[in-house]
Structure 1
């Protein structure tokens, strides 16, 4: 995962425009809010990225913890949300120090594909310990091995047409074909899981899980799972 952390901590071009970036994060924040069930809930966004719309989520819960491994991104998060008293920014290696059962909702969106299977297993172990007995884990944007990159392109273009940045999206796709992201994706690859494989992984980590009706974010060809502590 370290190579991907370095990439997202750099000046990358994963978003085709500022509007694309804003729409992306706003959509994710809206989807996360749909999983917040109480105004005093403690929510953990695991590997949150820039989380530009995190204030929306914070307004719907008691405490929002933004956990981010990339130090540059983490610094920007701290500055951006310095005046939001219920938003806390943490490094991933700070999470094991949190009390057992102290989190009501954990969201890991667009994270699992960048982690080796054993890294994901360790992360799920930490999350399992942190979740309250009635808490939930939302594991989003899981890549299906049967679905190719063409579906990702189609989903991006559909979102771009809907929100008015189609021309930027077309130019952005051309740039991405020659970018460090494409090279890194080719070199390292992204982890993919079938529905059965992810359900088995979650069960092994101590969760009772099911596939959500829709994915978190804009891409309907990827999968999300909702898991609760088993037993």
Structure 2
């Protein structure tokens, strides 16, 4: 079973006060570079088979740190840019201050019923969810086996993927928090997805190193009755 590490990009000068959206040319600032270097160092403990990234610069910058750390560890992960995990198409909201957008009637819909939300001149949240979930499930199936792979994307996109993995209706996705350069871990199986970590910004990731194969391994697609001994004990 492959393991997906969902990584949100690091901070930019616009992250927070402005809805950056798909604005081109927005790179990590000094804070974001430090965050990306730190998350790359954490992920370097794992043998990453592939890095899939949104085409926007703040993601390719972050993913580049992860690739560099993998290469420093003697690995050569595949590198793919996938438009399906690009930021939401915020339409005419793009580049506007958040404090202005909170006064727009669409804001309340996005907060309380995102499945009914379409950004002005932009994308519907249901379409964002559909393309992003399709992308990660597609890559997961392609990589297969015990591959560990990274998808570097954006906050709302990652929240939509996690909501799907948790079996939540899209209207519940605002309950999920995804901070800059956080790692969320999903393992897809024939039975269901398992969300192993969410919004992790500092914990050790070595528990996700695949164990050495010793003969026939137990198929770990079913939830362990009683809760099991933890992922590090499988």
TM-score range, shorter chain: 0.3 to 0.5
TM-score by length of 1: 0.38
Q: Which has the higher contact order (CA 8 A, sep 6+)?
A: 2
Q: Name the structure where strand makes up a greater proportion of residues.
A: 1
TM-score by length of 2: 0.38
